[in-house]
Structure 1
Amino acid sequence: MSDQDLSQNYKDAFGKRIGFGKRPALIMIDFVEAYFDPSCALYAGVEETLVSALRLQAAARAANVPVIYTNVVYNKTALNGGRFYQKSRTLHNFLEGSPMGAWPKGLVPSEDELVISKQYASAFFGTSLASTLTSLGIDTLIHTGVSTSGCIRATCVDCNSYGFIPIIVRQAVGDRHPAPHEANLFDMDAKYGDVVSETETITYLQNLGLNP
């Protein structure tokens, strides 16, 4: 099947859009030093991804939209890592206290913003994220972060399953290689949420008119 035939096949089967909801939150998934330090095996060359996400962070703050951050943290013996830790060769970089788990230069959560530490790929699994979004009346979760094929995809699928609208900002999510990045964007857009541009998302945030 050609690329054109594949696109039409998916458009015929999955070509609906959900659209932005009325009350969003922005999530910045696993933007930590490991993905920005060339000496780390997790280095992904996603510097421009963070730049895009920071523009969205600024737009969200200006619109009084909640900004939520995630990181991955294991206790010093990785007792809470389970099969995910067992499968990976790299998650030791997120043992408690590792410098690879620190925020990268330019990313500073404010004191009134939520940081969720997780142990698995999805920001929803084993965390309070769904309850928090529900209590805030959030209907839309704007996804940024790394990596597209891992924690972004897992969060997107769970976001859909919990009844929130997954919005994935193309320029603000990244992966270590364009092939899994593009394949997972294609699949998420087809089946779970809407993949949109940074410009479209910022325009949406600017037009919300939310009050403090």
Structure 2
Amino acid sequence: MSAQDDYGRRSYGEIPVGTGAKPGIVVVDFQLGFTDAQYPLGGAPLVMRAMENTAKLLKVARDCGVPVANCNTAYMNEREMPYWKITAVRETFRHDHPSVEIDPRIYDPDYDLTVCKKGPSIFFGTDVPAFFAKERVDTVIVTGCNTSGCIRASSIDSFSHRYRTLVPEDCVGDIEEQPHRDNLRDLGRRYVDVVDLDYALEFVRAWHRRETGADAPVPA
């Protein structure tokens, strides 16, 4: 019997999370340090795929009025940091370093709630839970990078805050494919529904139709 079968036999993943009344989207760490290949952590193919798909989702979501929370990770100095084991984070994720700027391809500073997080989760120590409470969000779509780190942490915090949580596989990315797949598998067994861009888009559009009676705008 495979490990997957054994988890299934013990009822892991049997109950889908589903969708609730209103979506909100979190965009985790699509900062230049991860999306620009000139930086040590930048330009991983799965991350770039995720950013391109997230941009498509965000275009529709903003046109429909869906709340969006966007973040980067940055510190004043090493003294403020947690005990990161990644040299590139310690050396470049500083407020005065260009790598911490959020990539403009997925960022609308006039629309998005923007937070600077200090740990792996976009929810930890930020205003995102209060923002979503005000907006009456009950279903969170998690996008960003990296799947095995900040996406995993943000997804578990979303679950812990009692949100229905959706993670579109093609809107999150990692340095390597195996950790990406492994972490999505494990999240999907316990805490979230692992979906795709098309599923997330249809949820957003269906919510917009319920709210307005009109079809969502079609992106150019």
- What TM-score do you get using the length of structure 2 for normalisation? 0.87
Q: How far apart are the structure 2 equivalents of 1:113 and 1:105? A: 12
Asked if the contact 2:144–2:173 (Cα under 8 Å) also holds between the matched residues in 1, the reply is: yes
Q: How far apart are the structure 2 equivalents of 1:137 and 1:26? A: 13
Q: 5 Å matches for 1:163-174? A: 163-174=162-173
Q: How far apart are the structure 2 equivalents of 1:11 and 1:20? A: 22
CA RMSD of the aligned region, Å? Answer: 1.5
Shift of 1:89: 1.4
- What TM-score do you get using the length of structure 1 for normalisation? 0.91
Shift of 1:105: 4.9
Asked if the contact 2:25–2:68 (Cα under 8 Å) also holds between the matched residues in 1, the reply is: yes
Q: 5 Å matches for 1:132-151? A: 132-151=131-150
What are the superposed Cα offsets for residues 69-121 of structure 1, whole Å, 9 maximum, x if unpaired? Answer: 0101101x2332122x3x33121321012111122252331413200100110
Q: 5 Å matches for 1:41-190? A: 41-43=40-42, 44-45=44-45, 46-75=47-76, 77-83=77-83, 85=84, 87-91=85-89, 92-190=91-189
2:32 maps to: 33
Q: How far apart are the structure 1 equivalents of 2:94 and 2:167? A: 28
Counting matched residue pairs gives: 205
Asked if the contact 2:71–2:102 (Cα under 8 Å) also holds between the matched residues in 1, the reply is: no
- State the SS of the aligned residue for 1:125: coil
Shift of 1:184: 0.3
Aligned AA for 2:33? A
2:6 maps to: 9
Shift of 1:135: 2.2
- Structure 1 residue 202 corresponds to structure 2 residue 197: no
Query: Where in structure 2 are there 5+ consecutive unaligned residues?
Result: 213-220
Query: Where in structure 1 are there 5+ consecutive unaligned residues?
Result: none
